[in-house]
Copies of this chain bind each other. A is one copy, B any other.
């Protein structure tokens, strides 16, 4: 399986929490408590998001974090990129040369770009709001809940 790193996954969890508590200043401690993540880890992610600009941070006593934009205006792409770097499966993307291990075969690689593009588009087309506030139960399958394992 092509694994999305656990950190990126947790990143979405953290941002989901922030979307739920929108406009409430959240400390790292609160986020950790709310998500069940270890405090140091949650803190690390929050710092990353603050640096990337999707969260604003206030330091000092009574500090904390807050969303800079509405959940509708934050894409999952931004979240994942903040923790994982650019969204792409292979190095040979976007004229990023010099990484070709098997250069004799290089010309074929154009095909990867198509896949990278598709992936990036999928991430960009999914908003934090869509993650944090999923479709209401009436659209779900039998059982009343969207089908999500466990």
Contact = CB atoms under 8 A, between A and B. Distances in A.
A2 interface: yes
A48 interface: no
A96 to B, nearest CB: 5
Copy count, this protein chain:
2
A61 interface: no
Contacts of A134: 107-108, 110-111
Contact of A114 (B104, B106, B122, B150): B122
Interface stretch (A21-29, A52-60, A82-90): A82-90
Interface string A46-89: 00000000000000000000000000000010001000111111
Given A1-B87, A84-B2, A148 B107 contact: yes
Contacts of A111: 76, 126, 130-131, 134
